[in-house]
Amino acid sequence: MENDTPPFLPLSSESGQHWLTHFNLASWGLENVAYVKPVSGADGHAYAIFAADGTELAQMNNRDEAIITIRQNDLEALSVH
């Protein structure tokens, strides 16, 4: 089945001059978000902080410490289960 959805979206219904690609829409806010995910660390269970693009930034001993670290760096903390 063919997908009839164009690879871009109009920003305004009044004007067709401004277009936004699905990729650009998906990347909005990426620099403002970090994810916390439980991982196996060197000492057992740990919580890793990941950038929105999947890059691991740090590991913390507990989830609260990870969230505080994210917020101290002016990011929005999201959990991944």
**pLDDT-based confidence at 57, cuts 50/70/90?**
very high
**Is there a domain that residue 68 lies in?**
yes
Q: What is the pLDDT of residue 33?
A: 87
pLDDT tens, residue by residue, 1-53: 455 555 554 455 555 555 556 556 556 666 788 999 999 867 788 999 998 88
At residue 63, φ and ψ (nearest 5 deg) are -65, -40
Q: What is the pLDDT of residue 44?
A: 83
| CA pair distance 37, 15, nearest whole angstrom | 42
pLDDT tens, residue by residue, 60-76: 999 999 999 999 999 88
Contact 75, 60 (CB under 8 A): no
Domain of 75? 33-81
Torsion, Cα of 4, 6, 9, 14 (10° steps): -80
Q: Please count the structural domains in the chain.
A: 1
**Is there a domain that residue 80 lies in?**
yes
**Which tokens in the block code for residue 10?**
């109009």
**Is there a domain that residue 11 lies in?**
no
